[in-house]
Chain A
């Protein structure tokens, strides 16, 4: 059995489920946003009103965390396919996953302020 520490899940199935579940969450969130954009004119007032809803805040954070999980697993899969040099792959994995983490943290801070 191959041991892998670079990815998020604990096993192949775990990764597989997390990848699909996070994709579903991201899809639902996209539809939620598209629904809002389609159903109201975008002004500063409607936009900040929309983002001050607890529902939107929670959903946004949830989607950001799903993005982190999705990116972590997905990037690990792509990098282990195409980047054969272990040092370079480790560095890229660190960098890109850090960026995803920073997105999540920025999301927290931004939503906190609305």
Chain B
């Protein structure tokens, strides 16, 4: 079976502007593979094709790409799932600068993540010499939050992040923000909320839920953002 691809190509050293390149691959009838496997086979034919990948099993978050218009991890998206449209169109994640082909510059994404201070902050009295215990109930609050692999599929599918990537934290960063706000061991809740209480950081989320529909880990940033909003509201009223 011949599978056709249309792949975004751009090498700033030689190309004036990006273009879409057609490619095809012979996939044995009755077999399947992941989009990443296909990209690797295509790279064997044309070594100039560039993309990121590492774990090839949906753990590292390196290979977020836009497949037929939807963001996802190439390594856990089966070809058979995206074949129905005839041609498989692969582009880099939208909204961030392209370094080359499918490789994007994630600096803005990481800057937003950094802003929310993604680590435990405890006052001196708190961290005990030994383990820092949580009850099973307290630990449960972190489920659905800690699993994020920072693949950026969500933030780069969010219109609010496209328009204001330097001011709006974006779904990935806000999911992480809530993970620390709700952690029973963290004592910086007030400061964290104060840092988010401007017109952009959280409140540019208008609940469009693109983030939820693309997250390869099945997480729900919109819900976490709603929780942050109500924490901010409770503090204000």
Residues of chain A contacted by B199 (CB below 8 angstroms) = 2, 4, 7, 9, 11-12, 15, 77
Interface residue tally on B, bucketed by range: 20 to 34
Indicate if A45 sits at the interface (CB-CB under 8 A).
no
Binds A, one of B17-25, B106-114, B200-208, B210-218: B200-208
Considering the chains assembled together, what is the distance between the CA atoms of A81 and B163 in angstroms? 5
Considering the chains assembled together, what is the distance between the CA atoms of A12 and B205 in angstroms? 11
Docked-complex contact A14 and B200, CB < 8 angstroms: no
Distance from B162 Cβ to chain A, minimum over Cβ atoms (Å): 9
Docked-complex contact A12 and B233, CB < 8 angstroms: no
Indicate if A16 sits at the interface (CB-CB under 8 A).
yes
Distance from B191 Cβ to chain A, minimum over Cβ atoms (Å): 11
Contact code string B158-189 (vs A, CB < 8 Å = 1, else 0): 01100110010000000000000000000000
Indicate if B192 sits at the interface (CB-CB under 8 A).
no
In the complex, what residue of chain A is closest to B236 when comparing beta carbons?
A: A13
In the complex, what residue of chain A is closest to B163 when comparing beta carbons?
A: A81
In the complex, what residue of chain A is closest to B202 when comparing beta carbons?
A: A12
Indicate if B37 sits at the interface (CB-CB under 8 A).
no
Q: How many residues of A contact B (CB 8 A)?
A: 17
Residues of chain A contacted by B229 (CB below 8 angstroms) = 16
Indicate if A80 sits at the interface (CB-CB under 8 A).
yes
Given B159, B204, B233, which contacts A13 in the complex, CB threshold below 8 Å? B233
Contact code string A1-43 (vs B, CB < 8 Å = 1, else 0): 1111001010111111100000000000000000000000000
Docked-complex contact B198 and A2, CB < 8 angstroms: yes
Considering the chains assembled together, what is the distance between the CA atoms of A17 and B203 in angstroms? 11
User: Could you list some 17 contacts between A and B, CB below 8 A?
Assistant: A1-B194, A1-B198, A2-B167, A2-B199, A9-B199, A11-B198, A11-B199, A13-B232, A13-B236, A15-B199, A15-B203, A16-B229, A16-B232, A16-B233, A80-B163, A81-B159, A81-B204
Closest 7 CB pairs of A and B: A12-B203, A81-B163, A13-B236, A2-B198, A12-B199, A13-B232, A2-B200
Identify the A interface with B (CB < 8 A). 1-4, 7, 9, 11-17, 77, 80-82
Given contacts A15-B199, A82-B163, 9 further A-B contacts (CB under 8 A): A1-B198, A1-B201, A2-B167, A12-B200, A12-B232, A15-B203, A16-B229, A17-B233, A17-B237
